[in-house]
Amino acid sequence: MWLQVAVCLSCLLLGAQGQATFLRANDRSGRCQYSFTVASPAEDSCPTAGGGPEMEALRSRLTVLESLVSRLVSGDAGAAGAARAAPDAGLPEAYTRVMGEKSQLQQDKERLGRQVQVLQRRAEEQRLEVERLLAKPCQPPSAAQKDQRPASDPAWQLGNPRYQEVKAEVTEVPAPKQIQEGSQDSTGCGELVWVGEPVSHRKAESITGKYGVWMQDPEAVGPYGPQMLWRINTVGAEVRELYGYEDMDQLSRGFPTKVLLLPEPVESTGAAMYRGSLYYQRRRSRTLLRYDLATESIAARRDLPHAGFHGQFPYSWGGYTDIDLAVDEQGLWAIYSTNKAKGAIVVSQLDPGGLEVRRSWETNIRKNTVANAFMICGRLYTVASYASPNTTVNYAFDTATGESRSIAVPMRNSYRYNSMVDYNPVQRKLFSWDNFHMVSYAVRLGKPEAN
Ligand code: CA
């Protein structure tokens, strides 16, 4: 549109200055061509290069024309700008809408926050419920069982216990190497080559004795003699009763001659008796305690460095059996695991006086794949299954060489829930607690048959 106006104005301007003709014709290529012809009032022919007054006047008029065209163009652009500015009128509305959406999102966030709190509260309630169920008392003994209670045994006076049982699956590890009975060395030590049939000495009287530990001090000192046997029923939230029997006959009859109340509670079945002291793991801790039988007090306490506890690295049956203490011909040992060992059995020799670790070995035997472990002559042995009636002693780790190997010494779990196995170097027997039963096994030591 502005081009047509410019052409008209050009005609007017030019017409005011002199006669002008406007021609339109096709050129040789057929395109439409427009041309002006203006007669000069002073010249009969075209001006020479460089122009003259007429050319200057023409330039001046063209400048005016360009100015007009430019204003027209800018006017159009201004109109277009106004058109673009029109949507700005909707900004308040958009702002209001966005603020509304923001408010809605805020409300959603608060609602989700409340839901998270509700779910967290439920999770906490469920955790407490699990703890309550774990601590729930089992059924009391039947009337028939009550009639069989020996009135003199304080084990019956415990009231309603609470339980810390943790189940785990049975693991059987095949052993490629068959060990045959051989001869002992000159010290009487040797490798375990045979485990006898289990002999049951006593069945625990109450549910508190489903799991437990029983012991005889291989280096007993006063006031108790070398025949004294000790036992702890380990089912309960606060296990603190230590029963003493003057010999095997009294244990079998269920008549304790001494009952001691330990000052701090016991965790699980890993306790050991040695040189007049009971060594045990304090409940829910990696703290080892030495309870002196003569003074009836804690004589030493020390954390077992980095040891897992309370279900972190138990044996396969669970039961918070993270730290297992053992005694053999070479002294006092702790069998456990650490985060660094990633669940593999670590065995440490302990100083019996102050409980310091003298030396440690890390094995390649995963603790949660075996049912229990014990030490004989500085060698660690593991039991494959706590529940299988026909299981094996399946690994041996020698602290003298730092090497472990698979073995397969048959062993029976008569009562199919073995919660404790330890060696007594004086009796040359394994002491075991198999589903309420205090059991022993004769063993033979020797050298394995060479392959
Ligand atoms: Ca053990």
pLDDT, tens digit (0-9, with 9 covering 90-100), for 12-49: 444 444 455 566 667 667 776 666 555 655 555 544 44
Residue 31: its pLDDT value, please? 72
What does the CA dihedral 102, 106, 109, 114 come to, rounded to 10 degrees? -160
Q: How far is the CA of 272 from the centre of ligand 1 (A)?
A: 9
Q: How far is the CA of 283 from the centre of ligand 1 (A)?
A: 17
What does the CA dihedral 306, 349, 324, 275 come to, rounded to 10 degrees? -130
Contact 257, 245 (CB under 8 A): yes
Buried b (16+ CB within 10 A) or exposed e, 221-232: eeebeeebbbbb
Q: How far is the CA of 92 from the centre of ligand 1 (A)?
A: 79
Q: How far is the CA of 378 from the centre of ligand 1 (A)?
A: 14
Low-confidence residues of the chain: pLDDT under 50: 1-3, 5-18, 46-50, 76-87, 137-182, 450-451
Burial class (CB in 10 A: 0-12, 13-18, 19+), 267: buried
Residue 52: its pLDDT value, please? 54
Q: How far is the CA of 423 from the centre of ligand 1 (A)?
A: 8
Omega of the bond prior to 150 within 30 degrees of 0, cis? no
CATH of domain 175-446: 2.40.128.630
Q: How far is the CA of 366 from the centre of ligand 1 (A)?
A: 15
Contact 167, 318 (CB under 8 A): yes
Q: How far is the CA of 250 from the centre of ligand 1 (A)?
A: 24
Q: How far is the CA of 337 from the centre of ligand 1 (A)?
A: 14
Residue 57: its pLDDT value, please? 60
The H or E element that residue 4 is part of is helix 2-17
Q: How far is the CA of 395 from the centre of ligand 1 (A)?
A: 14
Amino acid at residue number 395: Y
Q: How far is the CA of 372 from the centre of ligand 1 (A)?
A: 5
Q: How far is the CA of 270 from the centre of ligand 1 (A)?
A: 6
Q: How far is the CA of 257 from the centre of ligand 1 (A)?
A: 25
What's the pTM?
0.61
Q: Which of these, 250, 132, 192, lies nearest to 405 by C-alpha position?
A: 192
Q: How far is the CA of 323 from the centre of ligand 1 (A)?
A: 9
For the chain, give every domain's residue range: 1-41+54-60, 175-446
Q: Which residue blocks in 315-430 are alpha helix, DSSP H?
A: none
